[in-house]
Amino acid sequence: MGEVGHQAALGKALVQGLRVKFPDVSFREQTMPVDETVVIMPASLLIPAVKVLMDDLGIWHLSTITADVAADSGGKAETGELIRLLYHFWCGEGVTLCVELPGLSPEVTTLTGLIPGAAYYEREIYEMFGVTFDGHPDLRPLFLPDDWNEEPPMRDSTAKAAAARGDP
């Protein structure tokens, strides 16, 4: 695993496989340090892409799911925000699938059907960012108190964090 020539080979194979299967959808491909391939795709293609990863490429280890609030460059959503979900996979090299969701009522299909280990990561994103995962068997808060009824605490983090540290 992980010889220099081998780097990012899996990521390339994944993009290749996806382009063949879904010829009319556009995928963007990036690399993150350290040697992590990022494939940005529409949310509807997430499950098929994970299936390609698992069945064709033999990657089954989901490291974690990162949610991140990004400013919406295209101005699609009313809030002006995008929620990016990054699914970090690992098999001797890192492959990250990235889907972008609208800031208003973000919703995506759950991964727990394919990878039961994703359950806690999805629950955490649900409570922290308010992303709903369709078909999740047990979508309850993971860390927050049971009687928590304020808005998801990480949601407007960029703005609030800026305010907290006194930036203009």
Residue 99 contacts other proteins per CB under 8 A: no
Site string for other proteins, 110-139 (x = CB under 8 A): -----xxxxxxx------------------
Distances (CA, A) of 73 to 8, 13, 77, 157, 166: 28, 29, 10, 17, 24
Residue 79 contacts other proteins per CB under 8 A: no
Sign of CA dihedral 77, 66, 114, 117: negative
Nearer to other proteins, 1 or 21 (CB): 1
Number of residues that bind other proteins (CB under 8 A): 41
Measured distance CA(41)–CA(156) in Å, rounded: 24
Site string for other proteins, 38-77 (x = CB under 8 A): ----------------------xxxxx-xxxx--------
Give the SS3 label for residue 66. strand
Burial profile 64-75: b = 16 or more Cβ within 10 angstroms, e = fewer: ebebebeebeee
Residues that bind other proteins (CB under 8 A): 1-2, 32-34, 36, 60-64, 66-69, 86, 88, 90, 92, 94, 96, 115-121, 141-145, 153-154, 157-158, 161, 164-165, 167
